[in-house]
Structure 1
Amino acid sequence: MSSSEIQIKEMVAHKWDLASETFDTHAGHGIQTQKERDAWKQAFLKVFPEKSLKILDVGCGTGELSLLFAEMGHEVAGIDISGQMLKIAKAKAEACGADIIFREGDAENPPFDTSSFDIVFSRHLLWTLPNPKVAVENWNRILRKNGKVVIVDGVWDSGTLGSRARKNAGDLLTLLLERKNPRKEHSDYSDELKARLPHFGGAPLEKVKEYLLNSGFENIQILDLKEVRDAQKEKMPLGERIVRSYQYYLICGRK
């Protein structure tokens, strides 16, 4: 890894360290309701075999979905580049008695042996990576034969006029009604950092499908996460609901 790549990843880690304290309070990050929890479970049951699996949650953050996988009966490990996120994840697991292994690790090159997992999972991760193609290739490496990569992602800002107008309208409502800066979450991403992240506005479905196919994955399956998104919106203020009218999907492929 070059010195510039190391610097970029240190900047990303610092950003998420700062965001860790309030991360779970935001709709779309922490699971806010039982309805949302059930919607996630139903989505995963459509793509996971009905047996106990060994799952790696890449870019696990505060461990919200790691805990859900453990609740569903799976053996779970989670890695993240942010030490502060992992500190919260470990505390949550300890509080509910979940036996999950959390450790610091690079999502683009997870520190595990070949053929270690049945499922490699990521949520809202690809946009934070300088080299998403390399990441998907390495996820294939650590999967067992017939294992699956499962990716949840979306396009938060496509750069189109409609997308920008929707974002500006939602941000204005958030500023007026909630008296808070709606762009604070990404305000510490410098122009230099944004330029090094190919999917800063979100990872388009077709591009992610291309990564999977080029990395040797087969039997590609795509789910629209409308039920999850609708459940999340119930807890969102008006401004945030407007902003979050975007493409949101689950895509998976078999090794």
Structure 2
Amino acid sequence: MSSSEIQIKEMVAHKWDLASETFDTHAGHGIQSKKERDAWKYAFLKVFPEKGLKILDVGCGTGELSLLFAEMGHEVTGIDISRKMLKTAESKAEACRANVTFEEGDAENPHFDASSFDIVFSRHLLWTLPNPKKAVVNWGKMLRKDGKVVIIDGVWDNGTLASRVRRNAGALVTLLVERKDPKKGHAGYSDELKAQLPHAGGAPLEKVKEYLSSAGLENIRIFDLKDVRKAQKEKMPLGERIVRSHQYYLICGRK
């Protein structure tokens, strides 16, 4: 890894350390209701209905979905670059007596052996990686035969004026009407850091399909998350509901 890449990842880790305390309070990050929890479970059962799978959650953050996978009967390991995110995840696992392993690790270069997992999962991660294609290739290597890479991501800022206006309007409504900080739970990357990331505004679906294909994964499928989004919007501030019209998807490929 080059010194430039190391510096980028140190900056990323620092930003998420700062965001860790309030991350779960943000709709779309922490699960806010039973309805949302059930919607996530239903979505995942369509992708991997089997029980007792070995799952690696890369960029697990506060472990929200790692814990959900454990609740569903899977053996889960979560890795993240942010130590404070992991500390929160460990506290949550201890509180609910969940048997999940959390470790500090680089999502682009996980340290696990080949053929170690049935599922390698990521949510809202590709946008913050300097080398997303490399990451997906490495995730594929860690899969057992017939295992799957499962990715949840989206595009919230496509660089257009309309996208910028919608985001600014949403932030203003949240601040003025609901008296809430619209940046709460977000890392707040600088323009300098964003310039080092190929998908700083979100990872487009077609590009992620290319990454999965390049990793040698087959039977690439896209799943509908409308029930999850509907449940999330019920708990979102008005300003965020204005913003949440962007592309959002679950996609997976099989080894």
Counterpart-to-counterpart distance in 2, 1:196 and 1:184: 23
CA drift of 1:180 comes to 4.2
With the length of structure 2 as denominator, give the TM-score of the two structures: 0.97
Partner of 2:203: 203
Residue 34 (str. 1) matches residue 27 (str. 2):
no
Q: Give structure 2 stretches of 5+ with no counterpart.
A: none
Partner of 1:194: 194
Residue 215 (str. 1) matches residue 215 (str. 2):
yes
CA drift of 1:185 comes to 5.6
Partner of 1:17: 17
After superposition, what is the alpha-carbon deviation per residue over 1:166-192, rounded to whole angstroms, capped at 9, x for unaligned? 112211211211334424666742222
Residue 131 (str. 1) matches residue 131 (str. 2):
yes
Structure 1 SS opposite 2:47: coil
Percent identity among equivalent residues?
82
**Aligned ranges for residues 1-255 of structure 1 at < 5 Å?**
1-183=1-183, 188-255=188-255
Counterpart-to-counterpart distance in 1, 2:174 and 2:197: 27
Whether contact under 8 Å (2:16, 2:187) holds in the other structure is: no
After superposition, what is the alpha-carbon deviation per residue over 1:116-171, rounded to whole angstroms, capped at 9, x for unaligned? 00000000000110000000000011111110000001111111232222112211
After superposition, what is the alpha-carbon deviation per residue over 1:82-128, rounded to whole angstroms, capped at 9, x for unaligned? 00000010111111111111000000011101110000000000011
Counterpart-to-counterpart distance in 2, 1:170 and 1:188: 16
The 1:82–1:118 alpha-carbon spacing in structure 2 relative to 1, beyond 3 Å, is same
CA drift of 1:244 comes to 1.3
Q: How many residues align?
A: 255
After superposition, what is the alpha-carbon deviation per residue over 1:4-46, rounded to whole angstroms, capped at 9, x for unaligned? 1000000000000000000000000000000000000010011
- Whichever residue aligns with residue 217 of structure 1, its letter is L
- Whichever residue aligns with residue 14 of structure 2, its letter is H
- Whichever residue aligns with residue 85 of structure 2, its letter is M
Structure 1 SS opposite 2:198: coil
Structure 2 SS opposite 1:202: coil
Counterpart-to-counterpart distance in 1, 2:191 and 2:167: 19
Counterpart-to-counterpart distance in 2, 1:118 and 1:108: 18
- Whichever residue aligns with residue 25 of structure 1, its letter is T
- Whichever residue aligns with residue 228 of structure 1, its letter is V
After superposition, what is the alpha-carbon deviation per residue over 1:198-249, rounded to whole angstroms, capped at 9, x for unaligned? 1111111000001001110100010121110110000011111001111111
With the length of structure 1 as denominator, give the TM-score of the two structures: 0.97
Whether contact under 8 Å (2:22, 2:185) holds in the other structure is: no
Which deviates more, 47-56 or 107-116?
Answer: 47-56
Q: Give structure 1 stretches of 5+ with no counterpart.
A: none
